[in-house]
A and B are shown apart, each in its own frame.
Chain A
C-alpha cells in the first residue's frame, strides 16, 4: 500500500514538473519577435473526419457496412489532414 502511495506521489510530481517545464518552453517561444501564423481557409479533412465518426456511430445502430465505410473514410480524412498540416508547415517556412 505504501509503495503504491509513493508511486502515486512520484507520478503526480512528474506531471507537475512536466507541466512547469512545458510552460517554461512556451514562455521562451513567446519571446520571438514575429510568429508566422498560417490560416487554413478550408479543410476537407475536418469535414470527412466528422462524417466518418457519424457513419461509424450510425452504423452501430443501423447497418454494419456503415461502420466499415466510416473507418475507411476516417483513414482518408487523417491522411488528408496530414497533407494539409504539412502544407501549412511549408507555408510557414
Chain B
C-alpha cells in the first residue's frame, strides 16, 4: 500500500501559523514533543528547586528554615513534579519525537489526540502546582497519597484536591500521547520496517508506552476513587481500604518506574552503538529482554508493600528478583557492543556510560530491597531514597542527557558545545554521587525518610551536609546545560544531517526534519540499522 499526503483546507484547519500560537496548536508530532519536553524541563527545574530547599533544611539537624508542613509539601511536590511532570513526560516526549522518524513514518497517528494529550497534561501540571496558592498549601501526602493520610479528615483543603485533579489530568494526557505512539508503530511503519527491524530505541519506547496505556488507567481510577473518598464517599476505609488503595496505586506506581527507565536505556544504547561505531550487540535477546522486563514489571507492584502484611511477600520477592535476568542481558549487550568498537568519547557516549554505571548501583541496591527480610530493615529509611534516586536520577536523567547530546543536532540543526557538555557531566557525576551515596549509610544507620528534623547522631550531620553540597553541585551542572543550550543556539555550529554517522532512519533526513519528516526517498530497510547497512554495502 502506498500513501500520499495532503493537508486539510485552510477554511477549517488553519494554515501554518507562525510563532507561539502556531507551535501551540500544531499537530506535528515533533512540535508536540518539543513542547512537551520543554515544559517537562521547566517542571524539572521547579522540582529541583524544591529539592534544594529540602537539602538546605536538612543541612542542620534542627534547622528552623522550614516548618514541618512546608517540608511535607516540598517533598510531596518534589516527588510528584519529578515523576508526573518531568521524567515520565520526558520519556513520552522522546518517544513521540523519535519513534515516527526511526520507523520511517511521514507523521504520527492520531495527531489531534497527541496534541490534546499534551494540553491536558500541561493543565494537570499547572493545577497541581496551583495548590501552592491555596491557604492550606499544596498536596502534602507524598507522590503516592496513601490513605487514610490523604482522606478528607486528615488532609483537608483544596490544595490536596488540586493535587488529585492534577494527577488525573496529567495521567490522562500522557495516556493519550502514549496511545498515539502505539498507533504510529502499528499503522505507520515504512515498507520493510518490520517489528523486528525497529531500532533499539523504538523498541524501548514502544514497551514503555504500552506500559503507560496498561497501567495509567489504574492510577486514574485510584485518583477518582480517592477524590470521592475525600468528599464523603468512604471508599478506602479500615485496614483493607488502605491496602486496596496501595494495590491500585502501585499497580501503576511500579510499571511507571520502567516507563521512566526504558526510553532512557534506549537513548543510551543508541549513543553507545553510534559512539562505538558498531551495531548494537544481541539485538534479538535485547528486544526479548525488554518485553520480558515490561511484562515482569507489571507483576512486581506489591514489593512496595512488603511491610504492610497485606500481600504475599514470597510471590512479589520472586518476581522482583527475576528482574535481574533481563537487566543482566541489557548490561551484557552494552559491554559486548563496546568491545572491539572504535570508541569515540563524545559527551553523549560519556553520559551513556555514566548512566549504565550509576544505574548499576541503583539496580544492585534494588536486589536488597526486593528481599522482604532486608526490606523490613530498610523500609522508610534513607536507604530506599538512595536506591530510587540512583535508578531515577543517576540512571534515567543521565540517559536523558545522553539522548539530548545525541539528538540535539537532529532537533535543531546545531551542535551542543562538547567542552560545556563534559563540564556538565563532571559536575553531575560528582554532584549525584555526593548527594545520593551517603543516603545508603544514613539509611543503614536508621535515619528515616520524610523528616524535616533529625537527632544529632554521630556522623548524620556530616553526611547530610555532604548531600546538601552535592545537591548544589548538581544544580550547577544543570545550569551549565542551560548555558550550553543557549550558547549553542545563539552561536550555531551547523550539525549537518548526520554528524555522528548514525545508524537509524532519523539521520537520513534533514536537521531539523521537515514537516512531513522525509523529503528524500528512504534507504532500503534490511535491519534495525539501515544507514549502517548502507555504509557497509558501499
Contact = CB atoms under 8 A, between A and B. Distances in A.
Nearest to B22: A42
B111 interface: yes
A16 B17 CA distance: 46
A41 B6 contact: no
Contacts of A60: 161, 165, 227
B173 interface: yes
A49 interface: yes
A13 interface: no
Interface string A58-93: 101110000000000000000001011011101110
Contacts of B168: 57
A46 B5 contact: no
A15 B162 CA distance: 40
Interface stretch (B120-128, B140-148, B454-462, B496-504): B120-128
A50 interface: yes
Interface in B1-44: 1-9, 11-17, 22, 24-28
A47 B24 CA distance: 8
Contacts of B106: 37, 39
A38 interface: yes
A42 B25 contact: yes
Interface size class of B (residues with CB under 8 A): 35 or more
A87 B13 contact: yes
A16 to B, nearest CB: 20
A44 B119 CA distance: 11
A33 interface: yes
Q: Which of B3, B13, B15, B118 has the most CB of A within 10 A?
A: B13
Interface size class of A (residues with CB under 8 A): 35 or more
Nearest to A30: B1
Contacts of B17: 42
A15 B273 CA distance: 45
B423 to A, nearest CB: 39
B187 to A, nearest CB: 10
A41 B7 contact: yes
B516 interface: yes
Interface in B47-75: none
Given A39-B107, A42-B27, A51 B8 contact: no
B115 interface: yes
A5 interface: no
Contacts of A31: 1
Contacts of A87: 8-9, 11-13
B169 interface: yes
A62 B116 CA distance: 23
B113 interface: yes
Contact of B8 (A41, A53, A54, A58): A41
Contacts of B14: 41-42, 44
A38 B5 contact: yes
A37 B169 contact: no
Contacts of A47: 24-25, 115-116, 119
A38 B3 CA distance: 10
B158 interface: yes
B12 A83 contact: yes
Contact of A39 (B2, B162, B165, B516): B516
A58 B4 contact: no
Contacts of B4: 34-37
B112 interface: yes
A31 B1 CA distance: 7
A37 B8 CA distance: 10
A37 B173 contact: no
B120 A84 contact: no
Given A40-B7, A57-B169, A88 B13 contact: yes
A91 B6 contact: yes
Given A39-B7, A83-B12, 15 more contacts: A33-B1, A34-B1, A36-B3, A39-B111, A41-B8, A41-B28, A42-B27, A43-B115, A46-B119, A47-B116, A47-B119, A50-B119, A84-B12, A87-B9, A87-B12
30 contacts: A31-B1, A33-B1, A33-B2, A34-B2, A35-B1, A35-B4, A37-B3, A39-B27, A39-B107, A39-B111, A39-B516, A41-B15, A41-B515, A42-B13, A43-B13, A43-B25, A43-B111, A45-B112, A46-B115, A47-B24, A50-B120, A54-B119, A57-B169, A61-B127, A62-B162, A81-B112, A84-B13, A87-B8, A91-B6, A91-B8
